[in-house]
Amino acid sequence: MSLRTLFAGDLHVVNVGLESFAQPLRDSGVDVTSIDWRPPAHGDDELGLDLARLVGHPLVEASNAVAMDRILAVQPLWVDVCPAREAIPALAERRLLLHAGPPIAWAEMCGPMRAAVVGAALLEGWASTPAEAERQAASGGIEFEPCHHHDAVGPMAGIISPSMPLIVVEDPATGRRSYSNLNEGQGRCLRYGALGDDVMDRLRWMSARLGPSLRAALRSLPERVNLRSLTAQALQMGDECHSRNVASSALLVRELAGALAQHPDLGGHEALEFLRGNNYWFLNFSMAASKLATMAGHGVEHSTVVTAFARNGVEVGVRVSGCGDSWFTAPAADVEGLYFPGFGPEDANPDIGDSAIAEVHGLGGFALAAAPAIVGFIGGTPSAARRISEEMATITVTRHRDYQLPGLDFVGAPVGIDVRAVVDTGTEPTITTGISHREPGIGQIGAGITHAPLECFIKALRAFPALPVEP
Amino acid sequence: MSLRTLFAGDLHVVNVGLESFAQPLRDSGVDVTSIDWRPPAHGDDELGLDLARLVGHPLVEASNAVAMDRILAVQPLWVDVCPAREAIPALAERRLLLHAGPPIAWAEMCGPMRAAVVGAALLEGWASTPAEAERQAASGGIEFEPCHHHDAVGPMAGIISPSMPLIVVEDPATGRRSYSNLNEGQGRCLRYGALGDDVMDRLRWMSARLGPSLRAALRSLPERVNLRSLTAQALQMGDECHSRNVASSALLVRELAGALAQHPDLGGHEALEFLRGNNYWFLNFSMAASKLATMAGHGVEHSTVVTAFARNGVEVGVRVSGCGDSWFTAPAADVEGLYFPGFGPEDANPDIGDSAIAEVHGLGGFALAAAPAIVGFIGGTPSAARRISEEMATITVTRHRDYQLPGLDFVGAPVGIDVRAVVDTGTEPTITTGISHREPGIGQIGAGITHAPLECFIKALRAFPALPVEP
């Protein structure tokens, strides 16, 4: 068709990519359909070639299917509560604290994590003043390792010390176990970097009374609590099991109440009072269950499935099934959110915590369509929440069989973040999260939405082990 | 325009009313827009005139606003649990049983209600065999009155006898109280007309242990439980608080658990075990709270707002704010629903119970958009549930301020059924409900959807007291 013929009739234009090319046509009254397209891999040639080698490759597809089968087969049963030193031997052998996110040294830690380290050192009796605790931490007197390196996860600062009671979750088919600490509630909590007598008293009570009473109650239940089925129920009840845990927490308390009532000597009645007001109680269970599932999919050769995403408040990092135990890191992102009165974005610590393991497992931001009550995080409309869940489905391998989203006609939650899809589309995983004050000692100041930075996924893709030459 | 001109151009037809008029045009390729319209008042001239006198009348509009203000101002606080004879004096003074729905004599009662009467007579020790109980009932040895005549409501057969523990709900602003019995759980229950040692043992335990332990627990709570705020929360968590009560039940148990744990002597620990598995626990609280609210709107002169709808299994009846204490009745409708294995529609008793007070208060079918988990009742899609909530808004006066529907972008639940709108549109209120076997002694066989028959509303409209002649 000659240009002359082209312009003789009515023009209907499809504009691919840069929206600014469409505007002059629109201004001249032309009917333009815009397609939001960006070159794969940010237009980076070398990265584009790395990506092209992996996209659609049968070995990768098959390996991802294996990884997802393993992840989705896990039945996370809550089997015990015990002091961390019993569950994780390294905590009994060394003066060690576990923390959220990829590895980080004391000197690099953000304010809330430092505060939580100080609190844990005081709790363990390693130091009698905050200054002494800081000196120990600075001089190498305390070692630090990620929770993830010990099959554990902790929200926000994620500090786990030897005496803290841990949730123990087990997959009966493999005997594999994962761990998380117990949730302190909202507001002034160690995990948000709050310090003070209130925080320390609660932690001591949790070790002395809450943990033992839960352990005893759990043992007297007729059967173990299946956290997968509890999560599936809660998704029908407005939870996304990361930043909204009201239904799951209430269901779990109802399950335990009769058994806790039997153990007043161990603290069961105090536990019931404590649980009455804790709407975040299930978060740590959701995290431990998500860790158990995703770790089952780790270590599958040639799999591009993400098996962990975690943040230490300074850096964030992903681990990928086929990339061994490396963390691929980027600077921690900011959180957009709703702040408690008197606080604002300038007070916020960047993204922190292991809780994004929920998103790696199809919950949190990926299941946002299930949780209309927290759509205030994202502008207030359930339709925006549904869009986010649908967008996340463009970067995942499959959908969860049991985790259904009622807001999207019961479709399964998107699960199994594929490094290839993130790099190809440039779509960063959406994460719902709490917000910590950046200064040590203050605590939670809000909650909102953040994203896993593309940079981590690009690094992982670049480092992805070469595929064998086809036979 | 002449006919010739009309047919010369493209035809675009709007068809109002009978859809069959549109089809021949469509068949000829004409573009037809159908408007689903029916003549008001079923095309009945006299009824149409009655309706015309009320529609848009300023006195009716003002009176309905007053009724709704009173209904929506009620704060239903759960203040006590006590034996029915303490709450309702008539039960202490006479050999009286309360039942669901409008008035009915023993000889007319359906199978499940007769069975529940027998169970109650055995429970009270009035008879020692079912045959003896039936003889007493038939000979006038037992009196029967509607729960509604004593500010009470009972689900399904709704039998309340003197020793049964009642929920007491109070509006602090007026001191007015309403009552409901305690929920027995699902399956083989007296309210569904099941009989047997299991049913009787549970009822005796409820009187001896559950009621007293709840009473003691409630008294030791730091503050009374506001059932309105609990309902509002539960609507964000997948309950419509008639046929789905999982979230509200779990939240209420979490609230009470610590206090129940303190009273092992009174049965508090057994209560917690019982409550662990009772997903209908909150239904009777929802009903009592709805009764308290709707009765506040009753007795407003010139108001066409429905203040009760109840079913005795043979007849259903409505009460209207401006129509005094009359019941306007019609034969009980069938229930379309999901049946337990081995049962079907031929086994079902027609619609029964006071639980539709929930719909009168904007819950149940009116709030169906909030409860995707029970959309199986209506074909399985959340969009159908949303449509029903929207349709109910066409027959109500206003929307509830606190009862928000997340599936409809947090719009308030439609509340305040207007007799005029039901008759005008022919839209029957949608009700979610359980299904009882029609034979005495068997129990629940399913759950589903039914409608409040138009006939009741037509009778109420016809009987509506004349409005004063305008000055």
Q: Note down the domain range covering B183.
A: 76-288
Mean pLDDT lowest among A184-198, A265-279, B368-382: B368-382
The residue among A312 and A5 whose pLDDT is bigger is A312
Closest chain A C-alpha to B300 CA, distance in angstroms: 36
CATH of the domain at B414: 3.90.1700.10
- Radius of gyration in angstroms for the set of CA atoms belonging to chain B, rounded to a whole number: 24
Give the pLDDT confidence score for residue B438 in this predicted structure: 93
| A236 contacts chain B (CB < 8 A) | yes
Indicate whether A293 belongs to any domain: no
pLDDT band at residue A16 using 50, 70 and 90 as cut-offs: confident
Q: Domain check: are A169 and A316 in the same one?
A: no
Q: Which of B259, B288, B317 is the last residue in one of the domains? A: B288
**Judged by CB atoms within 8 Å, which residues 84-123 of A form the interface with B?**
none
Q: Domain check: are A221 and A260 in the same one?
A: yes
pLDDT above 70 for B1: no
Closest chain B C-alpha to A388 CA, distance in angstroms: 16
What number is the ipTM of this complex?
Answer: 0.90
pLDDT band at residue A3 using 50, 70 and 90 as cut-offs: low
pLDDT above 80 for A7: no
Provide the token pair at A310. Answer: 């975690």
| B232 contacts chain A (CB < 8 A) | no
pLDDT above 70 for A442: yes
- The Cα diameter of chain A in Å comes to 91
Give the pLDDT confidence score for residue A36 in this predicted structure: 76
Distance CA B458, CA B102 (A): 17
Distances from the Cα of A246 to the Cα of A153, A252, A440, angstroms:
20, 10, 28
Give the pLDDT confidence score for residue B471 in this predicted structure: 53
Q: Domain check: are A128 and A201 in the same one?
A: yes
Q: Which residue has the tokens 């039960």?
A: B91
Provide the token pair at A333. Answer: 């992102």
Give the pLDDT confidence score for residue A303 in this predicted structure: 98
Distances from the Cα of A304 to the Cα of A63, A403, A432, A466, B62, angstroms:
8, 22, 23, 12, 66
Distance CA B455, CA B466 (A): 20
pLDDT band at residue A376 using 50, 70 and 90 as cut-offs: confident
Give the pLDDT confidence score for residue B37 in this predicted structure: 75
Give the type of residue at A470: E
Give the type of residue at B101: G
Q: How far is CA A152 from the centre of its chain?
A: 12
Tell me which residue in B269, B373, B381 faces A258 most closely, judged by beta carbons: B269
pLDDT above 80 for B283: yes
Closest alpha carbon to B283 in B340, B335, B213, B354: B354
pLDDT band at residue B109 using 50, 70 and 90 as cut-offs: very high
| B47 contacts chain A (CB < 8 A) | no
Answer yes or no: are the C-beta atoms of A95 and A141 closer than 8 Å. yes
Cβ-proximal residues to B405 (8 Å cutoff; 6+ apart), any chain:
B235, B367, B369, B370, B389, B411, B412, B413
Distance CA A335, CA A316 (A): 13
Answer yes or no: are the C-beta atoms of B361 and B71 closer than 8 Å. yes
Q: What mean pLDDT comes out for the span A255-284?
A: 97
Q: Domain check: are A129 and A33 in the same one?
A: no
pLDDT above 60 for A471: no
For residue A143, count other CB atoms closer than 10 A to its CB: 13
Indicate whether B274 belongs to any domain: yes
Closest chain A C-alpha to B78 CA, distance in angstroms: 18
pLDDT above 80 for B41: no
Q: Which residue has the tokens 């109840």?
A: B310
- Radius of gyration in angstroms for the set of CA atoms belonging to chain A, rounded to a whole number: 24
pLDDT above 80 for A263: yes
| A66 contacts chain B (CB < 8 A) | no
Q: Which of A288, A319, A343 is the last residue in one of the domains? A: A288
| B229 contacts chain A (CB < 8 A) | no
Q: What percent of chain A has pLDDT over 70?
A: 98
Q: Which residue has the tokens 């009772």?
A: B278
Mean pLDDT lowest among A79-93, A337-351, B62-76: A337-351
Indicate whether B94 belongs to any domain: yes
Distance CA A100, CA B125 (A): 64
The 10s digit of each residue's pLDDT in A96-150 is 999 999 999 999 999 999 999 999 999 999 999 999 999 999 999 999 999 999 9
CATH of the domain at B207: 3.90.1710.10
**Partner-chain contact A272 B258, CB within 8 Å:** yes
Cβ-proximal residues to B133 (8 Å cutoff; 6+ apart), any chain:
B117, B118, B121, B122, B126, B127
Give the pLDDT confidence score for residue B162 in this predicted structure: 98
The 10s digit of each residue's pLDDT in B125-162 is 999 999 999 999 999 999 999 999 999 999 999 999 99
Q: Domain check: are B31 and B153 in the same one?
A: no
Please report residues of A whose CB lies closer than 8 A to that of B258. Answer: 269, 272-273, 276
According to DSSP, residue B350 is labeled P
Category of A151 on φ-ψ map: left (φ > 0), alpha (ψ -120 to 50) or beta: left
Q: Domain check: are A426 and A322 in the same one?
A: yes
Indicate whether A241 belongs to any domain: yes
Indicate whether A252 belongs to any domain: yes
Closest chain B C-alpha to A373 CA, distance in angstroms: 6
Q: Domain check: are B394 and B415 in the same one?
A: yes
Q: Which of A256, A288, A320 is the last residue in one of the domains? A: A288
Distance CA B158, CA B311 (A): 10
pLDDT above 80 for B3: no
**A with B: how many residue pairs have Cβ under 8 Å apart?**
103
Category of A20 on φ-ψ map: left (φ > 0), alpha (ψ -120 to 50) or beta: alpha
Indicate whether B470 belongs to any domain: no
**Partner-chain contact A269 B261, CB within 8 Å:** yes
* Domain count for chain B: 3
| Mean residue pLDDT across chain A | 94
**Partner-chain contact A247 B258, CB within 8 Å:** no
Q: What mean pLDDT comes out for the span A312-326?
A: 98
Question: Kind of pairing, strands A143-146 and A96-99?
Answer: parallel
Indicate whether A411 belongs to any domain: yes
Please report residues of A whose CB lies closer than 8 A to that of B367. Answer: none
Indicate whether B225 belongs to any domain: yes
The 10s digit of each residue's pLDDT in A25-75 is 888 888 888 887 777 777 888 999 999 999 999 999 999 999 999 999 999
Q: Could you give the residue ranges of the DSSP H alpha helices within A297-344?
A: none
| B446 contacts chain A (CB < 8 A) | no
pLDDT above 60 for B75: yes
| B406 contacts chain A (CB < 8 A) | yes
Q: Domain check: are A140 and A55 in the same one?
A: no
Q: Domain check: are B23 and B140 in the same one?
A: no
Phi, psi at B336, each rounded to 5°: -95, 130
Answer yes or no: are the C-beta atoms of A249 and A282 closer than 8 Å. yes
pLDDT band at residue A24 using 50, 70 and 90 as cut-offs: confident
| A317 contacts chain B (CB < 8 A) | no
Q: What mean pLDDT comes out for the span B440-467?
A: 95
Please report residues of B whose CB lies closer than 8 A to that of A378. Answer: none
The 10s digit of each residue's pLDDT in B77-95 is 999 999 999 999 999 999 9
**Partner-chain contact B253 A255, CB within 8 Å:** no
Q: Domain check: are A67 and A112 in the same one?
A: no
Indicate the burial class of B397 (C-beta count within 10 angstroms; 0-12, 13-18, 19 or more).
Answer: buried
Give the pLDDT confidence score for residue B310 in this predicted structure: 98
List the beta strands (DSSP E) in B279-341.
306-312, 315-320, 328-331, 336-339
Answer yes or no: are the C-beta atoms of B192 and B434 closer than 8 Å. yes
Closest alpha carbon to B329 in B319, B316, B320: B316
| B272 contacts chain A (CB < 8 A) | yes
Distances from the Cα of B255 to the Cα of A235, A254, B260, angstroms:
21, 10, 10
Q: What mean pLDDT comes out for the span A402-431?
A: 97
Cβ-proximal residues to A353 (8 Å cutoff; 6+ apart), any chain:
A100, A101, A154, A155, A156, A157, A158, A191, A310, A311, A313, A433, A434
The DSSP result for A269-302, as a single string, is HHHHHHHHT-TTTTHHHHHHHHHHHHHHTTT-TT
The 10s digit of each residue's pLDDT in B94-107 is 999 999 999 999 99
Give the pLDDT confidence score for residue B123 in this predicted structure: 98
Q: Domain check: are A351 and A326 in the same one?
A: yes
Q: Domain check: are B264 and B318 in the same one?
A: no
